[in-house]
Amino acid sequence: MDGTEGNAGQPGPADRSHRSSVSSVGAREVQLKPKHQPYKLGRQWQELLLRFTDAPDDDVAMDEPSLQFRRNVFFPKRRELQIHDKEVLRLLYEEAKGNVLAARYPCDVEDCEALGALVCRVQLGPYQPGQPTACALREKLDSFLPAHLCKRGHGLFAALRGRGTKAGTGEQGLLNAYRRVKEVAGSESEHEASLSPHYRAYLLKCHELPFYGSAFFHGEIDKPAQGFLHRGGQKPVSVAISLEGVHVIDSREKHVLLGLRFQELSWDHTSPEEEESVLWLEFDGDNEGTPVNKLLKIYSKQAELMSSLIEYCIELSQATEPATPQESAASPASAAGSSPPPTQHPQLRRQGSVVCSRIQHLSTIDYVEEGEQIKRVKPKRSTSFFSRQLSLGQGSYAVVQPTESLEQG
């Protein structure tokens, strides 16, 4: 079954780096609260699947849940930097690596190579010039890079036709990044201890991804109308919700369609009893130079779960001490130094980056604040979406801008 991840209601205290989750073989996941009893939840699994998924009845009847140990969605990244237990670091590393390799965390090629190089260091040991490292990388390429970057032709005829060129470039980039992995002086005596800095380096790199540590949900959005008959249709998306905001990710193209911090959005949801199960996201934008409010409609049976999680994340952020994104992503060493901290998330500024919003790929309902519609489609809900938002006291939003230079498609 197609994978989604959700949180059943509000969680307990966010002071643990890991919590249990119940998951089916198809990776439908529910993070458990401390009061949950896995056995009883397993007995209700089919009922949960019927309520929150579109899985066929036959799949629901055959599905078996499994209990897994996962990263706590509500554990702040800045707290993660304070962990020194090598086993906890290993668990966090393994989960993050799995999300990168499964393209659940979309990454640019350069970042995939940097992360894959750290995996090479963990699995193959330090880079040794003269050893047949390239062959080992080629044989296990899907252990270091996401599958969509490993597709290539095989054999002489594939090479003559030019197939595999991109993959070969990826292999070379991975090998070059592997050479650049830094070793920690004096750490060779204990293998496990020597891996902890590489686990931490991997996590620090993942912290630069705005959706790291998110809970993931499955949904669909309308495609922009195209062609003479203005046919659109729908496309599958993943909705990633974390303590920092919401990201809508194209499940097929492996890139972000929309990224919003909680300060930039308001939201609501409709249930099947009202009309259909939909999560509505509202954010500021422009239409041919006119400031407008944009509504994005996400069809999902888990709209209620997503709405509850957004609300709780906002409540949690307001209840805890404030921390800027720079403080969350900066390492303790950089924070303690006298020099100013380096510019954060440099790869997020990269033109055409997969983590940049692609507003032009969205079909939204646009209207001005007074309610004057400038598109043919009218929002069905009569209540204002601004009633559910993060209270900033200023009442203003920042316009979400698309990437400056993007591939067409």
Residue 299 token pair: 């069809």
Query: What residues have CB less than 8 Å from 358, skipping those under 6 apart?
Result: 255, 256, 257, 258, 402, 403, 406
- Tally Cβ neighbours within 10 Å of residue 47: 10
**pLDDT beyond 60 at 346:** no
- Using left for φ > 0, alpha for ψ between -120 and 50, and beta otherwise, residue 181 falls in beta
- What's at 41, amino acid-wise? L
Cα–Cα distance, 193 to 219 (Å, whole number): 42
Cα–Cα distance, 341 to 343 (Å, whole number): 7
Cα–Cα distance, 323 to 203 (Å, whole number): 19
pLDDT tens track for 294-312: 899 999 989 999 999 999 9
Q: Per-residue confidence at 370, pLDDT binned at 50, 70, 90?
A: low
Q: Is 274 exposed, middle or buried (0-12, 13-18, 19+ CB in 10 A)?
A: exposed
Q: What residue has token string 């554990």?
A: 75
Where do the DSSP E strands lie in 75-228? 215-222
pLDDT tens track for 116-167: 999 999 998 888 887 766 777 788 888 999 988 886 544 333 333 343 334 4
Cα–Cα distance, 161 to 158 (Å, whole number): 5
Nearest to 148 by CA among 117, 116, 114, 102: 102
pLDDT tens track for 40-59: 888 888 888 888 887 788 88
322 or 262: which carries more pLDDT confidence?
A: 262
Residue 322 token pair: 């404030």
379 or 304: which carries more pLDDT confidence?
A: 304
Residue 306 token pair: 């997503």
Nearest to 80 by CA among 367, 323, 377: 323
Q: Per-residue confidence at 248, pLDDT binned at 50, 70, 90?
A: very high
The DSSP 8-state label assigned to residue 364 in this structure reads: -
**pLDDT beyond 80 at 16:** no
Query: What residues have CB less than 8 Å from 165, skipping those under 6 apart?
Result: none
Q: Per-residue confidence at 194, pLDDT binned at 50, 70, 90?
A: confident
Starting from the edge strand earliest in sequence, which strands make up the sheet with 65-71, in order?
A: 5-7, 29-31, 18-24, 65-71
Q: What angle do CA 148, 149, 152 make, to 5 degrees?
A: 95
Residues constituting the chain? 409
Residue 330: C-alpha distances to residues 334, 335, 337 (Å): 6, 7, 11
211 or 66: which carries more pLDDT confidence?
A: 211
Mean pLDDT of all residues in 107-119: 94
Nearest to 279 by CA among 292, 293, 265, 261: 265
Q: What percent of the chain has pLDDT over 90?
A: 31
Mean pLDDT of all residues in 184-212: 80
Work out the widest C-alpha separation in the chain, in whole angstroms: 70
Average pLDDT value over all residues in the chain: 74
Query: What residues have CB less than 8 Å from 403, skipping those under 6 apart?
Result: 351, 352, 353, 356, 357, 358
Query: What residues have CB less than 8 Å from 182, skipping those under 6 apart?
Result: none
Q: What is the pLDDT of residue 205?
A: 96
**pLDDT beyond 50 at 375:** no
CA 12: distance to chain centroid?
22
Q: Per-residue confidence at 20, pLDDT binned at 50, 70, 90?
A: low
**pLDDT beyond 60 at 262:** yes
pLDDT tens track for 317-340: 877 655 444 444 444 443 434 444
- What's at 110, amino acid-wise? E
Cα–Cα distance, 331 to 65 (Å, whole number): 38
Predicted TM-score of the model (pTM): 0.75
Q: What is the pLDDT of residue 18?
A: 67
- Tally Cβ neighbours within 10 Å of residue 213: 25
Q: What is the pLDDT of residue 24?
A: 52
